[in-house]
Amino acid sequence: SCSSWLPQRVPLRCSHWQSSLLEVRTSPPVRAQPKKKKKVDVKKEQAQKERMKKKLKKLEKAAPELIPIEDFIAPLKYSESNRVRSLPALSPEESERRVLLLKKWCLFKQKQDEAEKKAIKALVESQQEALKELRLEGEELYQAAIRRDEGLFPFERDGPSYTPPLPGYDPPEGKCIDVTKVYTQ
């Protein structure tokens, strides 16, 4: 049983104003406004809250502004006249050369695309033949082979560069500060 003269450790309202329990307990410090203006204040506060709510509803109803795509907006300073290059006009030989070159390119790309499609076709045929032969050897082996490989994707690989990596290369130091504008809707 606890002794009766020890005060209970109950958290008091406004107990941060009364640091020691041995102090004389007075009422908590009174704030500015006297109690007479209470009702009018409450009405004013309610009116303010309603006005805020109406504003919020209006903002929410309006369609969200589209975020501008910085890349598509050319800064005005680049459309000044002094920026335009002064170049000689294209000679007819040059335009002729360009047209013929683009036709040659068209043909080149067509052949490249056909070769690619042919290679893929050969790849698929080779695999189909292998799977056919495998099925003759046993159904479980075949089923295991046609099962999807869950570990295959996502597949990541760095593409080739023009020169191979230089062993022991010390790249120059520098800091990259990102200044892209971030928009929130």
Q: Which is nearer to other proteins, 56 or 141 (CB)?
A: 141
**Residue 72 binds other proteins (CB under 8 A):** no
Site string for other proteins, 51-70 (x = CB under 8 A): --------------------
Taking alpha carbons only, the member of 28, 31, 24 closest to residue 13 is: 28
CA distance 172 to 152: 37
The residue range among 12-20, 23-31, 57-65, 84-92 that interacts with other proteins, by the rule CB under 8 A, is 84-92
Q: Which is nearer to other proteins, 62 or 84 (CB)?
A: 84
- Contact pick of 5, 72, 162, 183 for other proteins (by CB under 8 A): 162
CA distance 103 to 42: 81
**Residue 144 binds other proteins (CB under 8 A):** yes
**Residue 78 binds other proteins (CB under 8 A):** yes
CA distances in angstroms from 85 to 8, 55, 94, 95, listed in the order given: 88, 52, 19, 19
**Residue 11 binds other proteins (CB under 8 A):** no
3-state SS string for 58-123 = HHHHCCCCCCCCHHHCCCHHHHCHHHCCCCCCCCHHHHHHHHHHHHHHHHHHHHHHHHHHHHHHHH
State in Å, rounded, how far the first CA of the chain is from the last one. 63
Q: Which is nearer to other proteins, 5 or 153 (CB)?
A: 153
**Residue 160 binds other proteins (CB under 8 A):** yes
- Contact pick of 49, 52, 122, 139 for other proteins (by CB under 8 A): 122
CA distance 161 to 168: 17
| Residues found near other proteins in the complex (CB under 8 A) | 78, 82-85, 87, 98, 101-102, 104-105, 108, 119, 122-123, 125-127, 129-131, 133-134, 137, 141, 144-149, 152, 155, 157, 160-167
